[in-house]
Each structure stands twice: as C-alpha cells, then as structure tokens.
Amino acid sequence: MLFDHVATRIDAERAHHLGFRAVRAGAPLTRLLRTPGKPVEALGLSFPNVLGVAAGFDKNAVGIDALAALGFGHVEVGTVTGEGQPGNPTPRLFRLPADRAVVNRMGFNNDGAEVVARRLAERRARLSRDEAAGGPVLGINIGKTKVVPDDDQAAVEADYAKSTRLLAPFADYLVVNVSSPNTPGLRNLQAVEKLQPLLEHVRRTADTVTSARVPLLVKIAPDLADEDVVAVADMALAIGLDGIVATNTTISREGLASSAAEVEAIGNGGLSGAPVRERALEVTRILRDRLGEGPTIIGVGGITTAEDARARLAAGADLLQGYSAFVYEGPLWPRRVLAGVGPEVGSGVGRG
C-alpha cells in the first residue's frame, strides 16, 4: 500500500497535516462521488449514514465539509478546550504499523473555544440553506483546559461551561470528553461523583444558549472496569443523558505485535486502532445491556472493516466513528466500510 511505502517515512503529525490538507483540496471532486449507506435516526437527528469521523482528526473545525465529501455522515470536531493551548511537546503522534495502531499524546492542542466558535459562525454564514440541510451532522467534543486543576470542581465546571456557551449554538450534538489519557487528572473526572455534576452543569449551560435542546453525550475510556462502565450507564439513565461515546484511546500496551523496544521508545500516550477493538466492543455490549433501548451509543475504537462495523452495531451501537483506520486505509475507507455494512442499517436491524 502507498501508506506502507511512503506515509510511514514521514513524521506522523506532519503526515496528518499534509493528508488533511489534501482532503480539503480534493473536496470539490470527492463531493461528486456517491456515498453508500442510508440515513440513520439517532439522538433525535437524521444522520446521512452510520459512519462518522472521531474527535481528534479535525481539532479546530477547519475541514468539516471536506470530510463529509469523503462519505462520512457526521464529523465530531475537537477536542476543544475553553482556552487555546499548544498541547504537549513534539514528537507526540506515532504509528505502530504492525498493529495498525496509533499512539498519541497530543494533549488537547487546539485553538480554543472562542476561535473555533468564530470559525463555525463563518462556516454557517457561508453555507446556503440547501447546503446546510444536506451537510454532515456536526458533533462538538469539549475537554478540560490543562491548567485547570481537576480537583477544583467549580473551576472544572466553569471551564467546560465556557466552551459550552460558545460552541453549543453550533453543535448538532455535544460531547463531554473526560477520558483522554494525555491531560493530567482528566480521567479522574470519570468518577460518577465528579462526572454527574459536571454533565448536569454542561446541560444547564447549553440550555441557556440554544433555542432547541442540543443532545449531550459523554466519552469514556476503554480502561474503565466493567463495574465503572455500568455506573456510568446508570448515571446516564438517571440524569437523562442522550448518549455515550465508547470508547477513547487506551493506556494498555498488552498483546501488541510491535516489538517491546519500539513500544518503549514511543513512550506514554493513548493507543488507538485495531488493538482497542475487542475492549471497545465489550464496553459497547455492557453499556447496551444496562441502558436498554434508550440512550444512543456511538461505537469507536478499532473499527477497520465492514465486519468490524457490523459487529459493533450488533453489540448495540447506533452510530460508528473511525480515526486510525482512516489514517491507514486512506480516503476511500469510509465508502468501503459503508458499502459493506449493508442496507439494513438505519432500519433498527442489527442491534443485539
């Protein structure tokens, strides 16, 4: 494959920027191609198809419509923080080709909520009414600014509230990210006693700045123990959360084909891609068993093939997202997956 011979020779973060630039430049052509799949009803919204781009690919909302032109039915931008921040020192993005995996310790590098909100306002002004109606569903993923201490609940809530006030008016749905391993203390916020008041505060804030209710979800880690996954599901039901994104990257390095020396040389960071598949699938099953037919589950983590996609839907996911497979498989990947998922998607068939 071209990736194996060329892309692996370039620094991973630089390759990402070059590839994303090419996606944006090629949008006028890719927009002409027919996308497989059928509409899916979830979160009270109609998604053009079941597959979207996971947060982390378009951190700053610069290529939403170009990504949709590749066939993605929804684009989740971010993670966006209340204040702009440079993220962690480089290098901070790495590939493990033998595992079809990516390790990142980006650290929520982004332009900040104010800049992203202005960009989204400009996009809205550009789009005609017809274009806006036919475009992708837009999710906005928000996270904690690094300098905000995780043990100061009031400061954490104020930080997320700032992003919510600025960004919720542009979001078709909003995701609270408390599960990246690359912001110190962030995962501590997954504890229900901290997470529930945070989500309730974000909910109240969103309702004050939008005329229509914006669906609210939380993104959780695959490293949560089963009982903690159940606790999050119970909390979601208790507070009327609209859904859960399952899952983020993992800190585990078990069962990798890559050499121990290569893995050790890369160091810390969140691992995504094929190695996350089985745990993300299991978390999806646990959530659906506990949630029943209610809240939406967005399945993400290790989805590479149409078979992977069908398995995640059968486990209880309503929607799917990809990132690492898109990096490895190239711009035709979303259309290949959607073509292989089958026409039953969107009709309620496949959830088991």
Phi-psi region of 246 (alpha: psi -120 to 50; beta: other; left: phi over 0): beta
Which runs of consecutive H residues, i.e. helices, occur in 142-225?
A: 153-167, 192-209
Total number of domains constituting the chain: 1
| Residue 350, domain member (yes or no) | no
**Residue 80: pLDDT over 60:** yes
User: How many CB atoms lie under 10 A from the CB of residue 25?
Assistant: 10
Query: Would you say residue 316 lies in a domain?
Result: yes
Q: Is residue 348 part of a domain?
A: no
Beta strand segments in 70-157, E:
74-81, 93-96, 101-104, 137-143
Q: Is 163 annotated as catalytic?
A: no
Does 57 belong to an annotated binding site?
yes
Q: Average of pLDDT values for 147-160?
A: 93
- Residue 127 resides in a domain: yes
pLDDT at 13 (0 to 100): 55
pLDDT for res 37: 78
Residue 177 annotated as binding site: yes
**Is residue 328 domain-resident?**
yes
Residue 178: pLDDT band by 50, 70, 90 thresholds?
confident
Classify 144 as helix, strand or coil: coil
**Percent above pLDDT 90 for the chain:** 64
Residues 142-161 have a mean pLDDT of 94
Instruction: Round the average pLDDT of the chain to a whole number and report it.
Output: 87
Quote the domain boundaries for residue 302. 2-341
Q: Is 2 exposed, middle or buried (0-12, 13-18, 19+ CB in 10 A)?
A: exposed
Residue 79 confidence (pLDDT) above 70: yes
Which residues partner with 272 through β-bridges?
Answer: 102
- Burial class for 335, CB neighbours closer than 10 Å (0-12, 13-18, 19+): buried
pLDDT score at 352: 45
pLDDT score recorded for residue 191: 78
Is residue 349 in some structural domain?
no
128, 163, 179, 180: the catalytic one is 180
User: From residue 334, how far is each of 35, 94, 225, 279 by CA, in Å?
Assistant: 9, 22, 31, 22
Q: Judge whether 58 is annotated as a binding position.
A: yes
Assess whether pLDDT exceeds 80 at residue 24.
Answer: no
CA neighbours closer than 13 Å in the CB half-sphere of residue 138: 26
CA distance 140 to 41: 18
Question: Residue 298 and residue 313: Cα distance in Å, rounded?
Answer: 9
**Is 346 contained in some domain?**
no
Considering only residues 132 and 134, tell me which one the structure prediction assigns the higher pLDDT: 134
Q: Output the pLDDT for position 5.
A: 47
Is 235 flagged in the annotation as binding?
Answer: no
- The β-bridge partners of 296 are 243
Whether residue 352 lies inside any domain: the answer is no
Omega prior to 208 cis, within 30 of 0: no
Q: What CATH number does residue 325 fall under?
A: 3.20.20.70
Q: Is 302 labelled a binding residue?
A: yes
* pLDDT tens string 220-264: 999 888 988 999 999 999 999 999 999 988 989 999 999 999 999
Per-residue pLDDT at 321 exceeds 50: yes
Who's near 186: CB < 8 A, 6+ residues apart?
Answer: 143, 144, 150, 177, 178, 179, 180
Average pLDDT over residues 44-53: 96
* 179-213 pLDDT per residue, tens: 766 576 667 777 778 889 999 999 999 999 999 99
CA distance 330 to 152: 42
Backbone angles phi, psi at 235, to 5 degrees: -65, -40
